[in-house]
């Protein structure tokens, strides 16, 4: 477990065919399964849980990219529609290729997605945005 997460209580963890979603007081962390194509339907499943856990409160979304998977960057155009109360969006990457993909994704997010090299850094940044 990362040091930063030791300071936060895990509220609930969910496992789906696409991976795992962990909910904390005001942020969530996703870990998408190896080789999966994460699409808008999967995002809507997470959105339902966001409503359940955070109601209408601002929250942060951390994508912990421990596995290689794909997504459709154009779906990011709907991020505010799918997650209307998202206040911070972070990715934790582990390879140069993953880091370079953040630039591509940010063309659809107007720079909203911030990249980090550790979960600790991502959590700290997200907390500063909430």
> What is this structure's pTM?
0.93
Give residue 25's pLDDT. 96
Give residue 55's pLDDT. 95
- Judge whether residue 70 has pLDDT over 60: yes
Is 4-129 in CATH node 3.30.750.24? yes
What tens digit of pLDDT does each residue of 79-120 get? Answer: 889 999 999 999 999 999 999 999 999 998 888 999 999 999
Give residue 12's pLDDT. 98
DSSP assignment, residue 74? G
- Judge whether residue 3 has pLDDT over 80: no
Give residue 58's pLDDT. 97
Full DSSP string of 77-118: GGHHHHSTTEEEEEEE--SHHHHHHHHHHHHHHTT-EEEESS
What tens digit of pLDDT does each residue of 14-46 get? Answer: 999 999 999 999 999 999 999 999 999 999 999
Banded pLDDT at 4 (limits 50, 70, 90)? low
- Inter-residue contact 28 to 22 (CB < 8 Å): yes
- Residue 17 exposure: Cα atoms within 13 Å on the Cβ side: 7
- Judge whether residue 73 has pLDDT over 90: no
Give residue 20's pLDDT. 98
């Amino acid at each position: 477990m990362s040091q930063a997460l030791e300071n936060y209580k895990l509220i609930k963890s969910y496992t789906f065919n696409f991976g795992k979603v962990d909910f904390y007081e005001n942020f969530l962390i996703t870990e998408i399964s190896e080789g999966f194509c994460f699409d808008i339907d999967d995002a809507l499943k997470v959105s339902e849980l966001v409503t359940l856990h955070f109601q209408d409160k601002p929250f942060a979304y951390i994508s912990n990219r421990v596995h290689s998977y794909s997504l459709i960057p154009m779906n990011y155009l709907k991020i505010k529609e799918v997650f209307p109360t998202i206040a911070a969006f972070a990715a934790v990457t582990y390879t140069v290729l993953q880091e370079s993909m953040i630039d591509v994704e940010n063309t659809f997010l107007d720079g909203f997605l911030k990249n980090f090299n550790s979960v600790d850094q991502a959590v700290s940044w997200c907390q500063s945005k909430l």
